[in-house]
Amino acid sequence: MRTADLLGKFLQIGLGLAVFAAIIGLILFFIDKAPKRGRDYWQLVGFLAPAMIFLVIGLVYPALRTSVLAFQTNNGDWTFDNFVWAFTQPAALRTLLNTVIWVAIVPLFSTAVGLAYAVFIDKSRGERYYKVILFMPIAISFVGAGIIWRFVYEYRSAGRDQIGLLNALVVAAGGDPVQWLQTDPLNTFLLIVVMIWIQTGFAMVLLSAAIKGVPTEQLEAAQLDGTNPWQRFWNVTVPGIRGSLVVVLTTISIATLKVFDIVRTMTAGNFNTSVVANEMFTQAFRASEVGRGSALALILFLLVAPIVIYNVNVLRKQREIR
């Protein structure tokens, strides 16, 4: 392992430990109701200083450095060409389009399926076991999920034994095997299926907990008014879990915008399947176009930031209501 890799790992470990220690210190400091003296605040500053230093080195400085590199060429000259490339070149535009498709499909499908599953198994006899089945994929890493589904989509030429589940079914039905991951634009949607498979369990767990928090009195009152199950769900349950729905949608949207492992593992971005995070890596570390990679990183940040801000505002309004 290279020295730079070792330093990077030590930096990550140190950053995590420092942030954890800082959080514990803040909690203990404010739990203590004793009067605070000037020396106590200096001790707090000293306790937080390592975490702040690590944050500056490991987060703030790289973010600022990336923002600067986005407006520079490899020679250090200032330019807007990196952003012009990102919004004019066909390959880059296809990358942005793929990312939009991912964000438009994954959060909606994951949340819809997770919500439906949570509603149908609510208070059923085997609820805990049904939840475990759907939640299991989220325990698998994105790389592991990509490898599993790559075997599902595996292609072998006609006449050979098909080890891919999908092609085995096609051949069994009398068809010819298909190169699923090389067929554009179908391959993008097949990759999206993997992300939905992972995120649906997350959506189901959060929404199931939210459904159980809906007051039973409201549901009973609606039933006495003569409403059917669909009307009770739409007019009572959904408004009662609106906050959780927003959290689930925004969280999955952020994860989808940053998706990298699945695409890198299954296609490496080839055959018009690349997304912003993967193309950022490809440009910066494979094509040696650091400026283009930094521009894509900045674009990704600008896409994620509004979702994060919206999520924070929703949570703040919920706290104010309570």
Please write the tens of the pLDDT for every residue from 86-130. Answer: 999 999 999 999 999 999 999 999 999 999 999 988 878 888 888
Q: In sequence order, what are the beta bridge partners of 78?
A: 72
Q: What are phi and psi of 273, to 5 degrees?
A: -110, 5
Instruction: Give the model confidence (pLDDT) of 207-244 as tens digits.
Output: 999 999 888 898 889 888 888 888 999 999 998 898 88
Residue 65 CB neighbour total at 10 angstroms: 11
CB 119 within 8 A of CB 211: yes
Tokens, residue 255 = 């994860």
Type and span of the H or E element at 55: helix 38-55
Give the CA distances from residue 321 to residues 211, 315, 318, in Å, rounded to whole numbers and listed in that order: 19, 10, 5
pLDDT tens-place values along the chain, 322 residues long:
455 555 555 556 666 666 666 666 666 555 555 555 666 667 667 777 777 777 778 778 888 888 899 999 888 889 999 999 999 999 999 999 999 999 999 999 999 999 999 998 887 888 888 888 888 998 899 999 999 999 999 999 888 888 999 999 999 999 999 999 999 999 999 999 999 999 999 999 999 999 998 888 988 898 888 888 889 999 999 988 988 899 899 999 999 999 999 999 999 999 999 999 999 999 988 888 999 999 999 999 888 888 888 887 877 777 666 5
Displacement of CA 272 from its chain's centroid (Å): 21
Instruction: Assess contact for 280 and 92: CB atoms under 8 A.
Output: no
CATH topology assigned to domain 81-321: MetI-like fold (1.10.3720)
Q: How many H helices and E strands in the chain? A: 16, 0
Residue 19, Cβ neighbours under 10 Å: how many? 18
Specify the pLDDT at position 153. 95
Taken in order 165, 166, 171, 177, the sign of the CA dihedral is: negative
State how far the Cα of 222 lies from the Cα of 305, in Å rounded to an integer.
Answer: 39
Q: Which amino acid is at 128?
A: R
